[in-house]
Amino acid sequence: MVGTKEMTVYEEVNVFFDRAAERLGLDDGVREMLRRPWRELQVSVPIRTDDGAIKVYTGYRVQHNGARGPYKGGVRYHPLADLEEIRALASLMTWKNALVDIPFGGAKGGIQCDPRTMSETELNRLTRRYTLQIEHLLGVNRDIPAPDLGTNSQTMAWMMDAYGQVHGYTPGIVTGKPVELGGSVGRDSATGRGAVYVLREAANDIGISPAGARIVVQGFGQVGSWTVRLLADMGCKVIGVSDVEGGVYNSGGIDIDALLQHKLSSGTVSDFPHGDRVTNEELLELECEFLVPAAIDKVIHGGNAAKLKAKVVVEAANHPLTPEADDILNEAGVSILPDILVNAGGVIVSYFEWTQNFYQHQWDMERVNDELGKIMTRAYVAVREKSAAERITMREAAFMIGVGRVAKVVKMRGFI
Ligand code: NAD
């Protein structure tokens, strides 16, 4: 068991990396090269706030590994976004893109800010200034940002516009844009849809019928809200949902259409009247078949892992489990579907968007979802087979496939 109290999120992700590297028999030099980010940029992002003051934020772009293609990864706006977190998320992108076998390296960016307390005009100014501070690292064949926690298609439209002011019209410089500006249909639902594909395959393998299965989802943003919607369409019983304000629980199943309406009017799911209010901590401990963390990292840790009553944890968020929690749950026989597999749908449809931008074409929804399904299923099957063949966890199998592919390409390219 790993004692993780003082570990940063980057160190924690590297526990998973090191386990895979060990099993793959990579030598120390290769490990060190794959572990470390290739390039990191920290920038000051000063903006004038609406009341006329000047406020200076800190932004980052970390390019973790570019061996398999242009760097690719989201941009996070969050009060706790720091270099260690962005590094961790960038490395997860490297292993994820390799696992699902799309031609990208891994990157991540972010600004330490609280977008919930900022006006639209402040966010627009912040995004433009940040883009100009990092634009020399970006390029359609170099590094392509996308939305993540606290950012959305509007943020990407501002980034594309700011980049275009320097370089000319370049829709492929970001993905997750509005469809009207060259975004792909199906990108907004893609991460949730991919998670649901994985959940459905796993349910089938484990022998749990998705119809009527009890589901708990933490986080009701881009990923969580689509996951909930699609699971409800599949006939699952969503019994608990939360956002940063707290959650709601209804053992009989939550009416998702009513919940979506409520969220639109009140801005939160936590005060939905048809259920009991629960805290985020209580929500994670609800008895259910599938628990889907879809908010922030490290929510399941050594302090609460043993209290979980879910049969399967579906990691829609990035790094929701610490290695200590991972060990406790594996020991207890809980199935864990790992983040680099479960939430890859977003970057897969980003890849479709990027290719559509190259030839100024637009796929229809059926094609997007069909191709997404094929890639997710192929990756799931590969992970499941490796996990069974080597008697290792799904996470170990997923990391082994991802890390192994990057290590192979690094050698082929002759870096070492
Ligand atoms: P989002 O900003 O759209 O939504 C985040 C949700 O989490 C909101 O409902 C928010 O209220 C809730 N939340 C925030 N802090 C919380 C806390 N402390 N406790 C409980 N809930 C909290 O973000 P998103 O794009 O849905 O991303 C969610 C997760 O999924 C992140 O880990 C992100 O890295 C990961 N992810 C996102 C994508 C994507 O396409 N957007 C792709 C892959 C992975």
pLDDT tens column, 360-413: 999 999 999 999 999 999 999 999 999 999 999 999 999 999 999 999 999 999
Q: What are phi and psi of 137, to 5 degrees?
A: -90, -15
What is the Å distance from ligand 1's center to 360 Cα?
30
What percentage of residues in the chain have a pLDDT greater than 90? 98
CA distances from 308 to 126, 322, 334, 392 (A): 39, 14, 9, 22
Which helix (H) or strand (E) segment holds residue 43: the answer is strand 39-48
- What residues act catalytically? 108
- Evaluate whether 314 touches 291 at the Cβ level (below 8 Å): yes
| 185 residue type, one letter | V
Burial annotation 159-175 (CB, 10 A radius, 16+ → b, else e)? bbbbbeeeeeebbbbbb
Q: Ligand 1 pocket test: which of 152, 296, 376 has the largest number of ligand atoms within 8 Å of its C-beta?
A: 296
For 359-394, b/e burial (b = at least 16 CB within 10 A) is eeeebeeeebbebbeebbeebbebbbebbeeeebbb
Residue 1 has pLDDT above 60, yes or no: no
The runs of H, that is alpha helices, within 332-364 are: 339-342, 345-358
Tens digits of residue pLDDT in 160-179:
999 999 999 999 999 999 99
Task: For residues 114-122, give the mean pLDDT.
Answer: 98
Q: How far is the CA of 416 from the centre of ligand 1 (A)?
A: 38
CB-ligand 1 contact for 191 (6 Å cutoff)? yes
Residue 4 reports pLDDT greater than 60: no
Q: Assess contact for 172 and 357: CB atoms under 8 A.
A: yes
Which domains, from first to last, does the chain contain? 37-168 (3.40.50.10860), 188-342 (3.40.50.720)
Ligand 1 atom closest to residue 339's alpha carbon, by position in its atom list = 44
Query: pLDDT (tens digit, 9 = 90+) per residue, 41-67?
Result: 999 999 999 999 999 999 999 999 999
Q: What is the pLDDT of residue 415?
A: 77
Evaluate: CB of 150 within 6 angstroms of ligand 1.
Answer: yes
DSSP assignment of 91-120? HHHHHHHHHTT-S-EEEEEEEES-GGGS-H
Give residue 31 CA to ligand 1 midpoint distance, Å.
Answer: 30
Give the C-alpha distances (Å, rounded to integers) separating 72 from 100, 133, 157, 171.
Answer: 13, 18, 17, 15
Q: Is 295 in the pocket of ligand 1 (CB under 6 A)?
A: yes
278-314 residue pLDDT tens: 999 999 999 999 999 999 999 999 999 999 999 999 9
Atom 35 in ligand 1: which residue has the minimum CA distance?
317
Cβ 343 under 6 angstroms from ligand 1? yes
3 state DSSP class of 145: strand
Confidence of residue 30 (pLDDT cuts 50, 70, 90): very high
What does the DSSP 8-state code read for residue 166? Answer: H
* pLDDT confidence band for 6 (50 / 70 / 90): confident
- Burial label for 142, CB within 10 Å (0-12, 13-18, 19+), is middle
Task: Give 231-251 pLDDT, tens digit per residue.
Answer: 999 999 999 999 999 999 999
Q: In terms of DSSP H, where are the helices of 117-267? A: 120-134, 153-167, 187-206, 222-233, 256-266
Ligand 1 closest atom vs CA 219: 7
End-to-end CA, the chain = 34
- Mean pLDDT is lowest, of 4-13, 82-91, 322-331, for 4-13
Cα(222) to centroid of ligand 1, in Å? 7
Contact 252, 240 (CB under 8 A): no
| C-alpha to C-alpha distance for 76 and 208, rounded to whole angstroms | 35
For a ligand 1 pocket test, name from 97, 116, 149 the mutation site with the most ligand atoms within 8 angstroms of its C-beta: 149
Q: State pLDDT tens for residues 139-149.
A: 999 999 999 99
Mean pLDDT of 26-40: 96
Among 277, 281, 313, CA closest to 294: 313
Question: At 5, is the pLDDT very low, low, confident or very high (cuts 50, 70, 90)?
Answer: low
Q: What are phi and psi of 361, to 5 degrees?
A: -130, 160
Ligand 1 atom 19: the closest Cα is on which residue? 244
Q: Whose CA is nearest to atom 31 of ligand 1?
A: 317
Which ligand 1 atom is the nearest neighbour of the CA of 320?
A: 32
Ligand 1 geometric centre to CA of 215 (Å): 17
* Biggest alpha carbon–alpha carbon distance for the chain: 62
11-13-19 Cα angle (round to 5): 100
This model's pTM is above 0.75: yes
76 CA distance to ligand 1 middle (Å): 10
**Which atom of ligand 1 approaches the CA of 295 most closely?**
7
